[in-house]
A and B are shown apart, each in its own frame.
Chain A
Amino acid sequence: MDKTINQKAWFLVLPVFLVVAFSAVLPLMTVVNYSMQDTFGNNQFFWNGVGWFKELLDPSTDLGGRFLASLGRNLFFSLVILAIEVPLGIVVALSMPRQGWTVAACLVTLALPLLIPWNVVGTIWQIFGRPDIGLLGYTLNAMGLDYNYVANAVDAWVTVIVMDVWHWTSLVALLCYAGLKSIPEAYYQAAQIDGASRWAVFKAIQLPKMNRVLLIAVLLRFMDSFMIYTEPFVVTGGGPGNSTTFVSIELVKIALGQFDLGKAAALSLVYNLIILIVCWIFYTVMTNAGVERKAQTAKKPAAEPKPAGALQPAPALKPKEGVA
């Protein structure tokens, strides 16, 4: 679709610009301001230049050590989450019923965890995993496994990961399902006539069609898991020790717990910068994919013979059916 150039369109965008600028630019300026200063309370501030940033990136200091450790934990967490949720989401999407009331029932049930307030998600798993009153913790302990997410770091990690899988796999599944739904029936018929195996259908038809939505899913999941705060905070409080303290938890501890505004602001900026870079990659890939798709549709008449060739046996079958 070719868009017309019209500078007056800015008037339409202005309300959005103002609303978001009010909540984004002003606070960000505050953060930049704080990040260069130190405070000893009483609203007295001292110029500190780039001191906090230096400390932040130096693992030998207290602040740097804490930041880099939580960053490492957070990256590991995000990778584990992606490695589980993406394949599982695809499998679930492929398992969706094809029609009837079960489709709606499955969709609603799948979406349910996404609509639970995040701290309630934490509460649900906090209760569910407790060895004394929770079904999961009680069952595991009854089976002879010594499971206690409050005391054992590995158990805490497993709980937080399973919780996230429970909470967000549905998002990946719903996105993939939306991608699968957009595949025309003719593709499957062609594949059937060609005698393609199920695996071949998945690899040649379903996976390429899901590419775009999978990209959205991976990046949304990466960024949201990178900012995760409420759920692990409610379940483990970042413990035992610091074993499940992710970057957001560390940040809130420094900012609202210790009121170390300078340190917190510097951390915020670096944190935001990381997210911004990932976001930029996401945006570039997305827009490029859009351009590619446009180019493909533009070229379609030229490329037509190929799919038509694959589909050709279908009309040829028609007379045969008539005879039978």
Chain B
Amino acid sequence: MHSIPGRRLIMGLFLIFLMLPIYWLVNMSFKTNGEIVSTMTLWPHTPTLQHYKRIFTDESWYSGYINSLEYVVLNTIISISVALPAAYAFSRYRFLGDKHLFFWLLSNRMAPAAVYALPFFNLYSAIGLFDTPWAVALAHCIFNVPLAVWILEGFVSGVPREIDETAFLDGYSFPRFFVRILVPLIASGIGVAAFFCFMFSWVELLLARTLTSVQAKPIAAIMTRTVSAAGMDWGLLAAAGVLTIIPGALVIWFVRNYIARGFALGRV
């Protein structure tokens, strides 16, 4: 009753549309450059792992993945730990300027990264964090912290107030209540918020590229190096691209049941 006619066909076609470009990337990553340029083949006729081998053995390549993961994880930890108390406050209390503060947070989630690229460059150079994972992790807070507050607020509001009150009557201090009772109760919400912080920090490039030069360069920026005097190294580019998809695909599996709710910012 609640689905539409031909839904299998529609879903099938849409999934094919989604997978085709990815299939082509994966396909290309296993081909030799000679095969890519000279012929049009739907699967690699002379499959090779040379591109992957190059990425995993060349430090300038694999360090990019480590750098990216480093600032993504840092950012996720910072975002969640500052957002948790705030989400509780927004969900439970009214205080001076709460609505304005919430709107201000939200407006930062929507601010174009391009606007901040240059001032961030100046700011982080001035305080000596330029080209460290900390610079990128802090810069990404500008959109991840509001997002985390938003998602967590939705989940905290789902916890009945009576639980707080009972805990306080039982003599729990606020920090103890927070760690022992509230955090376990909204564990799935924290998971979802962490997933979204991970995701948005992982996919962002403009700020990450502007704030790093050598030491903390993210993989996405290293990928631009495949253009050389000898022309494009398409196979290597494709292999690097495939490897950036994998972390996302892995984390998505863990939150698959909450993903829809998370995208609705905990507000369905």
Contacts and interface: CB of A to CB of B under 8 A. Distances in A.
A17 interface: yes
Contacts of B90: 13
B4 A94 contact: yes
A64 interface: no
A115 interface: yes
Nearest to A290: B267
Nearest to A181: B260
Contact of A20 (B89, B105, B210, B260): B105
Interface stretch (B18-26, B54-62, B183-191): B18-26
Given A107-B259, A166-B21, A272-B111, A19 B82 contact: yes
B245 A116 contact: yes
Interface in A57-98: 88, 91-92, 94-98
A223 interface: yes
Given A16-B82, A16-B86, A118 B205 contact: yes
Interface range, B side: 35 or more
DSSP majority for the B interface? helix
Contacts of B249: 108, 112, 115
B268 A279 contact: no
Contact of B89 (A13, A120, A201, A223): A13
Contact of B114 (A6, A26, A112, A227): A227
Interface of A: 1, 3-10, 12-13, 15-17, 19-20, 22-24, 26-28, 30-31, 88, 91-92, 94-98, 104, 106-120, 123-125, 127-128, 132-136, 138, 166, 169-171, 174-175, 177-183, 188, 191-192, 198, 201-202, 206, 212-213, 216, 223, 226-227, 229-230, 247-248, 251-252, 255-256, 261, 264, 268, 271-272, 275-276, 278-280, 283, 287
7 contacts: A16-B82, A22-B138, A24-B111, A132-B37, A268-B114, A271-B115, A275-B107
